[in-house]
A and B are shown apart, each in its own frame.
Chain A
Amino acid sequence: MKDVILKGIEYGKKLNADFIDVRYQNKYVANYQSQDGELTANTGSRRGLCTRVLFNGALGFASTTSIELKDLKTIIEHATKLAKGAAESKKEKITFADVKSHTDKAISPRIKSLSDISVEQKINMIKEAEKVYKDYEDIKSYTLGYDEIIDHRIVGNNEGTLIEQATMIPTVRALAIASRETKIAPYQEAWSKAKGFELLDEHPLSELAKFASEMALKNLEAELPPGGSTNVVIDHTSVGIIAHEAVGHCSEADLVEAGSFLKGKIGQKVCSELVTMIDEPVIDDGSGWLMYDDEGTKGRKVEIIKDGVLTDFLNNRFYAAKMDMKPTGNARAFNFDDEPLVRMRNTYIAPGDMTEEELFEVVKDGLFVTGMMNGSADTSGEFMVGTGQAIEIKNGKLSDKVFVGPTMTGNAFEVLSSTMGIGKELKLNIGTGFCGKEQAAKVDAGGGLLACVVILGGN
């Protein structure tokens, strides 16, 4: 494959491209799940080649499902034609920031390769784990799933970069839907990491099924908490969603340029000095694992906010040039026919110095918000995060009162300015979540537990 890519690049140079890169990708995705005992598997591969051609400040992109050199040449011609055709209408010329060229092969960490585990083992694991649901009379419907992504990509360019990268990401998930008379309450628990089948040892499906069932049953009798401004301790998952959705997106260079809240604020205090926020290419088994990005740039750790002060943005080579910054390695594409965009990897709020008990004490009266449903934000920093459950904090201690997880809203920078404390323990996990900025991306996010003030869209 590398030979085809290199010959393609040579062909692009002959067509007078100012810059050309070629990316090969073969992505295998499998989803095994049992929904109420109906076991189904959805597996498949998508592979292909794509190219970007820069000509006179305009960029053309084309892709093909073929991996033959003749077809690669055809899409290079097509991308060149598109770039040439657009060059005249392009007011602002595209240039790419300089980066060091690399030739390397990177493989994400794994002990038990997902490819070595048979389909039979995966199916039997689900069949065994789903027996747990039989212990819960009011769980009327469930979905228990195991997913995997096995991704192989090679990117090369006319500057000498040639990077081969292989990742595997398993996901385990359990949904329980409790129902009694007219009441229905769902709850989902999930884990996803860049590692091998050992994820299942750390998070057995049966344990997930049990946890989701018990939480759904609690929610069945619970109501939403009162709405409005509330003191909260937020768990790692929702901290991650706020970090990713509300702050992280505002720090992506394309959205900064479009006018995000963080535009023009480098060096300014944007939230509490207790907050340091980081986006990292590789952190343990974080599922946003990305040693090199899809432009072949080696990823670097980016301290977006340090002690409350905005210090850096996430970028690709185009925005690094435009904003006169050092490339960060955040250009990512999900499938072979996607153009790389500025995306996050593993984004988190750095841990602080408080124990869980100390955080409850500092909040005094409020809610401990756990679990994640979904999240979104816009460039003004306004966000919403749907949660799974909320437990009352009364006089600095957790009470027995449980609420259905409310939706948290607010402006992230105001919320982070209200930070009362951050927990000592760092955890990253956003479960089945993918970032959906134009195309999917497997990311991870988290942080320490966060004590702050948010608005709840409550009862």
Chain B
Amino acid sequence: MFDDALDIGNKVLKYCTKKGMESAEIYFAYNNQKQVLLDGTSIGTQRAKEELGVGIRIIHEGSEGFTSTNIITQEAIQKSADEAFVVAKLSPKIEGIGFAEKQNVKPLEGIYNEKLANLDVDAIITDGLDFIKGFTSIDSRIKTTLSSITLSTSGVAIQNSNGVNVDRKSVNYQAGLIAIASDKEKAGAFTFETTFSRKRETNFTEVGEKLGKRAIDGLNQELLKEFEGPVIFRSDAMMNPVGFVLALAVSADWRQRGTSFWKDRLADKVADERLQLVDKPFDLSGGGGIKSFDAEGNPTKDIDIVKDGVLQTFLHNQQTANKEKLKPTGNATRSFGANPSFTQKPSMILPNSPWILAGDMTEDEMIADTKKGLIVHNYTGTVRFQNGIFSGVAKGAYLIEDGEITVPVTGVSISGNVFDLVNNISGISKEYHLANGYLTTPMMKFDGIKVSTK
């Protein structure tokens, strides 16, 4: 995977010292993808991609420079280091900037599956054909587009001047699947589903059938009258807007800049006491963010972020922790998603593998407990992450009347404030779902949401 890159990395670190650079960090990211596209009712292009790249960060006299390249030779990486050094020397000091210190990193078994990594593309084609079989069995008016099933093998290695020298490799099998139903009279809405697994265990025929049913519902949507009431958010809607807003609100960087809505609320009750938000980077049943060290090489750990509705902590990277003379929490992030990126420096702080813990109602009970409301698959719209205000369109929405899902509905706008929503929880399901391969979450019901319509 890294071949002789790690050896080159060590040589470049020595070169940086020799050139007078105070400290350096080398971040290798490897991605190998086998991908099958699905188009119409047929398989599309078969793709194979492989890339090893490196991001180099230089810290010099309290300032920082960063460059990246996918040319893995000693000469090219040294040139990148020189360029990063130029930027560092020109830049003002950044309070708290620093690299991770050498620490023990707890081993994490089970994220690399040799058998899966060697899966032949024919097997991926078979899964693609199963998906097509699934939705075409529902209705001949359904097609897919821009869908793909991808086997990704990836790796990360971090070396720095403080002696950090860590690496990992992982493999995952994920799909982004879209179904659309249309006929001469009407075009249905996009319906989509993501799957994520560390084994080849997804039943793609079932996924196709479920998505196909939703696509047909997209042809039969009805208009609704405005109301204010409860809305049940399914997994994707839990991710956006709820998960994103909460994840950024607990970033120490946002708190230190004064842009976190919860900046002064540490140890306060910020949500309904049933809300439990946890980072579980070692739980293999979680999503693509499982890891034993973060994007700077600091060890990760289980963290209670919101417990019984009370904000327990903010999440730190090396810089924010240095500013407050704390230990980093292992939440430095370079890119969103399961596959690493060498082109970004670790500028974000996010939970590694966030979980919103399950409640005590079944999903059926949550629906049965709703006199009039909506259940929503996805939300697309504006989210002001700083203040939690969201306003946009509910997609894959169904009306609930007298405890039963009655009709799919269209043209529905919902708006509110995520920080209010988490104080107006009226139900949390027992069942978990994985949203966008990242957030493990139950369905949640929130009261008092304004539903606007045409």
Task: Answer yes or no: do A and B interact.
Answer: yes
Task: Name the one of B48, B86, B129, B342 contacting A82, with C-beta atoms under 8 angstroms.
Answer: B48
A63 to B33, CA, bound (A): 10
- Is A337's CB within 8 Å of the partner chain B? yes
- Is A384's CB within 8 Å of the partner chain B? yes
Chain B nearest CB, measured from A101 CB (Å):
23
Chain B residues near A228: list those with CB within 8 A.
226, 452
A135 to B261, CA, bound (A): 24
- Is the pair B387, A409 in contact by a Cβ cutoff of 8 Å? no
- Is the pair A381, B48 in contact by a Cβ cutoff of 8 Å? no
Chain A residues near B42: list those with CB within 8 A.
90-92
Partner-binding segment picked from A4-12, A164-172, A284-292, A371-379: A371-379
A457 to B413, CA, bound (A): 6
- Is the pair B413, A259 in contact by a Cβ cutoff of 8 Å? no
Partner-binding segment picked from A260-268, A274-282, A297-305, A350-358: A260-268
Range class of the B interface residue count: 35 or more
- Is the pair B411, A455 in contact by a Cβ cutoff of 8 Å? yes
- Is B300's CB within 8 Å of the partner chain A? no
Chain A nearest CB, measured from B216 CB (Å):
12
- Is A258's CB within 8 Å of the partner chain B? yes
Q: C-beta contact mask, B49-66 vs A, less than 8 Å → 1, else 0?
A: 111110100000000111
Q: Which of A141, A179, A183, A259 has the most CB of B within 10 A?
A: A259
| A interface residues, how many (CB within 8 angstroms) | 88
- Is A60's CB within 8 Å of the partner chain B? yes
In the complex, what residue of chain B is closest to A124 when comparing beta carbons?
B90
Chain A nearest CB, measured from B339 CB (Å):
12
- Is A99's CB within 8 Å of the partner chain B? no
- Is B381's CB within 8 Å of the partner chain A? yes
- Is the pair A337, B129 in contact by a Cβ cutoff of 8 Å? no
A438 to B144, CA, bound (A): 14
Chain A nearest CB, measured from B362 CB (Å):
31
A450 to B137, CA, bound (A): 44
Known: A61-B48, A141-B259. A455 touches B91 (CB 8 A): no
Task: Name the one of A62, A120, A255 contacting B145, with C-beta atoms under 8 angstroms.
Answer: A255
A89 to B259, CA, bound (A): 53
Chain A residues near B51: list those with CB within 8 A.
46, 48, 63, 65, 337
Partner-binding segment picked from A32-40, A153-161, A324-332, A361-369: A32-40
A89 to B380, CA, bound (A): 36
- Is the pair B129, A89 in contact by a Cβ cutoff of 8 Å? yes
- Is the pair A36, B257 in contact by a Cβ cutoff of 8 Å? yes
- Is the pair A44, B55 in contact by a Cβ cutoff of 8 Å? yes
- Is the pair A384, B381 in contact by a Cβ cutoff of 8 Å? yes
Chain B nearest CB, measured from A343 CB (Å):
12
A409 to B87, CA, bound (A): 44
- Is the pair B67, A43 in contact by a Cβ cutoff of 8 Å? yes
- Is B325's CB within 8 Å of the partner chain A? no
Chain B nearest CB, measured from A75 CB (Å):
8
Chain A residues near B44: list those with CB within 8 A.
59
A63 to B178, CA, bound (A): 25
Known: A339-B45, A457-B391. A85 touches B381 (CB 8 A): no
A63 to B52, CA, bound (A): 12
Chain B residues near A152: list those with CB within 8 A.
none
Task: Name the one of B64, B69, B187, B259 contacting A177, with C-beta atoms under 8 angstroms.
Answer: B259
- Is A185's CB within 8 Å of the partner chain B? yes
- Is the pair A409, B187 in contact by a Cβ cutoff of 8 Å? no
Task: Name the one of A61, A120, A185, A373 contacting B46, with C-beta atoms under 8 angstroms.
Answer: A61
Chain A residues near B146: list those with CB within 8 A.
254, 341, 437-438
Binding site for A on B (CB under 8 A): 36, 39-53, 55, 64-72, 80, 83, 86-87, 90-92, 94-95, 121-122, 125, 129, 141, 143-146, 148, 178, 180-182, 184, 186-190, 218, 226, 257-259, 261, 342-345, 347, 380-382, 384, 386-387, 389, 391-393, 395, 410-411, 413-415, 450, 452-454
5 additional contacts (CB under 8 A) given A82-B48, A92-B41, A227-B415:
A65-B72, A259-B187, A339-B45, A455-B454, A457-B415
